[in-house]
A and B are shown apart, each in its own frame.
Chain A
Amino acid sequence: MSKKNQLSRREFIKGLSIFAASMPWLSLLAKEDIPEGRRPSDVVRLGVIGVGSRGSLLMLHLQSISNVEIAAICDDYMPHLNDGKRITENRAKAFVDYRKMLEMKNLDGIIIATPLHLHAKMTIDAMRAGHNVFCEKNMARYMHECKDIVNVQKDTGKILQIGFQRIFDLRYIKAVELIRKGRIGKVNMIRAYWHRNNDWRRHVPKPELEKKINWRLYREFSGGLMTELGAHQVQVANWILDSHPEAVGGFGSINYWKDGREVNDSVSLVYNYPNGIQVIYDSMISNKRYGLEEQILGDKGTMELEAGKIYEEEPPPAPGILHLINDLEHQFFDTIPIGGASWVPDTPVRYKGEYILDQYPFPDATLLELDAFVKSIRANEHIDRMIEHAFYASVTALLGNLAIQRQSIVNWPRGYSL
C-alpha cells in the first residue's frame, strides 16, 4: 500500500463530501462554512462525564480539535478524576456528581464515557437538561432503554450522537460505497469476529471497589462481549445490508476466565437478515490468533474490512479469450489473438487482494466522530441517520445477548423500528 498519498485531516474531511449523497451523516463533517472559532463565542464548550481510560482518550482527541474547550469533567472515582484534571491542566471544572455538571448553563455539549449501565440515565438527564450529547457505544444496557433515549431525543430535539466510529472510518465508507456499486456483486453472507486474549479483570485497590472498577464483568452493569466489541461489527453489518436482523440465535459461555465473572468470555451467534442473509458472529477473549475482521462475501468478490482488502472471485477474461468465446458462439473458426507477453494484474499479485484504499495513514475515526459532534453543535444540525445507525446497532447487540440468555432464537422485537 502506497504511503505517498497521505492527506492532511482537513483535506481528508473535505474529500468525504463525495460520499455525502449516500452517507448523509458525512455531509456535516465535510461542511466548510461552519465558523471555525475565530471569535471566542465560537468556542464549543464540552463537559465530559467519565474520565477513565476511554474518557481520557476522548479528551485527548478533543484537545486536538480547534476551538473546543473541555470546560468540565466528572468522575466519581477519584484517581480517574485526578487524571482528568491533569489532562485539562486543572482548567476544567471538576465534579463528582454528574447532575451538578448538567446544571452548568454554558456548556454546548456533554460527552459520556461511563460504564454501560449508566449510559441511558445520563444521556436522558443530559438531554432533558438542555444539553447536546455524545455517548459512547452501546447506546444502553437494555433494549427498552435504547427506546427511551430515542423518545427523549425526539421530545427535546437535542443533538445526540453515539460512539459508533466506523461510520466515519474511510475504509468502511469506501467499502460500503463499492458494495453499493456492485463491486463484489450480491452480498450473500457476512462473517465477523473479534478475538482477543486478555483478562478483562483489572486490579482493584480495595475489595469494595470491585464492581466499580470491574463493572465489565457483571451483568448488572455490562453487556459483555456483544456490547463491548460486537456492537461495532453488527453496526457494520446493518450498514452494509441496510437493514436490521429479523432474528438471532446462539450460545455463550464462560469457558476460560472462570474467576467469578458473570459475563461470557466466548459467544457465537447467527443473525438472520431479510432475504435469507446470515451474519455469523463470534467473539472470545482467550485466543488472539485471528484478531478481528468483517468478511463481506459477495458472489463476485470478498471484502475484508479491517484489513481493508478486496478480493475478486475471478480475474477479468483475456481479450483473446473473449474473442474465442465469440467465435465459438457464432461457430467461426478464426485465429485467436492471444499469444505474447505474460499478463500481469493491474495491481501486483491482485489475487492476493488489493487494498480498498490507497491513502494511508488516514485520520483516526474516533477523532473524526468527535469532530462531527463538534460541527453539529456549531451548525446546530443533527447528523443525518446517526440515531438510526446507533439504535439499530445497539439493539442488535443486545438482542444477541437475549438469544444467548434464553438459549433460543429470538425475533426482532415489536415496536423497535424507527
Chain B
Amino acid sequence: MSDYYHHRFYALGTRIEFIIIHDSYQDARQICEDAERIVSKIEREFNCNDPESIIAEINKNAASKPVHLNDETWYIMNECMHYHDLTNEIFDVTVYPQTRPQKRMQSDVERDTAFTGLADGTPAEVIGMKRVTLHEEDHTIFFNKPGMAIDLGGYGKGYAMRLVNNNLKAAGIDNAFLSFGESSIMGLGRHPHGDCWKVRINALYSFVPTDHVFELKDQSISSSASFEGEGNMIHIFDPREMKFINERKQVTVRCHDPVAAEVLSTSLIAAQDDEQKEIMSRFIDCDAVEISIDENDSPRVKHI
C-alpha cells in the first residue's frame, strides 16, 4: 500500500483536498496544515466580499485616491493585466462585481434578448481593465471611474494552487494530487503506481464522464463551464460584448501553471474557434478541450 496522507478543508467557497505521497505521516500532516494556512491567508486577503480584505480596501478607496499595494498584490495585479492582454481582453477582473448580482437563469435569457448582464443602472464605463491604472513608481492602483471594483474570481484559485505547489516542492514533496473544488486539479510528479496522474473529465453538471483523459505530470487542469448550479445560472461574461455567454460550453485547460489554466478556462469559453486558437498560441505547453452537449445530451469533445 502506498503511504498517502489525505487532507481536506473548506476554503475559497469550496472543498480543498490534498493527497500527499510521503515517507512520514507527521511531516505530511504538517506540510498540509502549512498549505491550508496559505490558502486561508489568500482567502482572507483577496476575497472581495470580506470587508477587511485587501481587495475590499482597494474597491472602497481606489476611485478616490491611489491605493498603495503590497508586493504580493502588486504582482497579482500586474499578472492580471498581462493575462488581460494575452486573452484579447476577455479576462478582466473589473467585471465580476458588476455582473455577479445579475447572474441569470438560462430560461430568463431565452426570453430576454436584450439582456446585458450588468447590474441595473451600471454604466459600461465602470467595466474594463484599461480603466485601472497601476503606477510603477509607488506601486499604487487607481480606478479612473467611480463605481469600479475588482474581484479575483477567475484567478484566485489558480494563484492559491500555485503557492501550494511551491510550498509542497519546497517541503520536499515530489508526488501529490491536489483538488480545489474538483474544477482545479494539480498532479505533482506521478501516481505511486504509474508515470503520471490520469484524470478523466466529467461533462458539465451531469457528471457524465467524457472519453477525454488528461495525463498530468507537474501540471494542472482547470475546468470552466458557461453554466453553473443545478438551476443553470449563466455566469461567464464577455466584457468586450458586454454580455453573458449563454451557449452551453465547458472548457478544460491543461498547463504547468495553474493560474494560466484557470484564466484560460474562462476566457476560452467567451472566445470562438479562431480566437481560441489565437489565444492558445500565446501560451506555452498548454492544451485545452471544449466539451459541448449535443442534441442527445451526450458530451462532445473538441480539441482547441
Contact = CB atoms under 8 A, between A and B. Distances in A.
A342 B228 contact: yes
Interface stretch (A199-207, A246-254, A313-321, A392-400): A313-321
Contacts of B19: 321, 324-325, 328
B121 to A, nearest CB: 26
22 contacts: A314-B8, A314-B10, A315-B10, A316-B15, A317-B6, A320-B182, A321-B6, A321-B17, A328-B193, A329-B2, A336-B199, A338-B185, A339-B183, A339-B200, A339-B252, A340-B201, A340-B204, A341-B223, A342-B183, A345-B15, A351-B10, A351-B11
A344 B197 CA distance: 24
Interface in B1-35: 1-2, 4, 6, 8-11, 13-15, 17, 19
Contacts of A349: 13
B251 to A, nearest CB: 11
Contact of A337 (B191, B200, B205): B200
B197 A318 contact: no
Interface in A326-373: 327-329, 331-345, 349-351
A345 B15 CA distance: 8
A336 B200 contact: yes
A343 B200 CA distance: 16
A339 B13 contact: no
Interface residues of A, number: 31
B183 A335 contact: no
A332 B201 CA distance: 19
A317 B197 CA distance: 18
Interface of B: 1-2, 4, 6, 8-11, 13-15, 17, 19, 177, 179, 181-185, 191-194, 197-205, 207, 209, 213-214, 221, 223, 225, 228-229, 250, 252
A92 B177 CA distance: 75
Determine the main DSSP class of A at the interface with B: loop
Max chain A CB contacts within 10 Å: which of B199, B204, B223, B252? Answer: B199
Nearest to B13: A349
Max chain B CB contacts within 10 Å: which of A312, A337, A349? Answer: A337
A312 B8 CA distance: 11
Nearest to A337: B200
Contacts of B10: 312, 314-315, 345, 350-351
B114 to A, nearest CB: 29
Contact of A340 (B197, B198, B202): B202
A317 B8 contact: yes
Nearest to A311: B10
B2 A317 contact: no
Contacts of A324: 19, 177
Contacts of A334: 198
B185 A344 contact: no
Contact of A315 (B1, B9, B225): B9
B1 A340 contact: no
Given A336-B177, A341-B204, 17 more contacts: A318-B17, A325-B6, A327-B193, A333-B198, A337-B209, A338-B202, A339-B183, A340-B207, A340-B223, A342-B14, A342-B184, A342-B223, A342-B228, A343-B14, A343-B183, A344-B13, A351-B9
B21 to A, nearest CB: 8
Nearest to B204: A341
Contacts of B179: 318, 320-321, 338
Max chain A CB contacts within 10 Å: which of B8, B203, B221? Answer: B8
Contacts of A333: 191, 193-194, 198
Contact of B185 (A312, A332, A339): A339
A321 B11 CA distance: 17
Contacts of B202: 337-341
A411 to B, nearest CB: 39
Nearest to A338: B182
B213 A335 contact: yes
A335 B13 CA distance: 26
A324 B175 CA distance: 14
A28 B1 CA distance: 57
A339 B177 contact: no
A336 B11 contact: no
